[in-house]
Amino acid sequence: MQIIQPEEASGELIKSMERGGVNPRLQLEILKLAEFHTYPAPGVLIGAFMVDYAMDLLGAKKGQKLYGVCETPKCLPDALQVLAHITIGNNRLKVVPIGKFAITMNPPSEVPTTEAVRVYMDLKKLKAYPTIDIWYANSKEFDKKTMKGKLFDEIFSAGRNILSSEKVRVPVRKKSKWESVTCPCCGETVPDYLIEGDHCGACGSLKYYERI
């Protein structure tokens, strides 16, 4: 992972966005997103157009409360977090590791299921952008060293033109009541719905550290 060098990296990025005709508002959001992600990964750049497109389809205003699902843990979660404030921490973001470059977004709802918009990478449309096409396919033909600039230019000139959308129905996530339970193994507390039998996850299947 590389840390973004503001002057150099964002300078190139801005030039590429200008060439592609990206609107100034989205340019600013993309710069914020690249900084948050620590570098302008192609996936987050495309993610910015996905979130922007989905918000337009929903008629959502900036700052409006929205929920989202992201079908890959790579790059896309950051686009939802920075552009739509759908975050892991506010519990409005769900990441499903399906491995597709797609997102679903919806406004809050009081009923058990609600209409959402799903935006996905459209492989047919991608054929018009050969560099994005080989990058997306993880093809050996894509040479990161020599083709990165061309990839950025294609991403910014394509914008939404490589995306498609569909209306879908999703379950509405509800907050449930919970009680605090003390784990007899470690003595720390967890919400009752996360207890595994009689112990906490860290003393069970979610154990990830050894005390030293």
Which residue ranges make up the site for Zn ion (CB under 5 A)? 183, 185-186, 200, 203
Helices 42-58, 76-84: axis angle to 10 degrees equals: 50
Q: 51 or 183: whose CB is closer to Zn ion?
A: 183
- Smallest separation, CB 193 to Zn ion (Å): 15
Query: Torsion angle, CA of 149/47/38/4, rounded to 10 degrees?
Result: 20
Q: Which is nearer to Zn ion, 98 or 185 (CB)?
A: 185
Which residue's CB is nearer to Zn ion, number 137 or number 185? Answer: 185
Least distance CB 205 / Zn ion (angstroms): 12
Q: Give buried/exposed letters for 6-32 (b at 16+ CB in 10 A, else e).
A: eeebbeebeebbeebebeeebbebbbe
Residue 78 C-beta: closest distance to Zn ion, Å? 32
Instruction: State which residue, 139 or 205, has the beta carbon closest to Zn ion.
Output: 205
Question: Measuring CA to CA, how many Å separate 188 from each of 176, 177, 207?
Answer: 21, 20, 14
Least distance from C-beta 203 to Zn ion, angstroms? 3
Minimum distance of Zn ion from residue 194's CB (angstroms): 11
Kindly tell me which of 96 and 186 has the beta carbon lying closer to Zn ion.
186
**What are the tokens at 15?**
């030039």
Q: Are strands 102-106 and 67-70 parallel, antiparallel or unpaired?
A: antiparallel
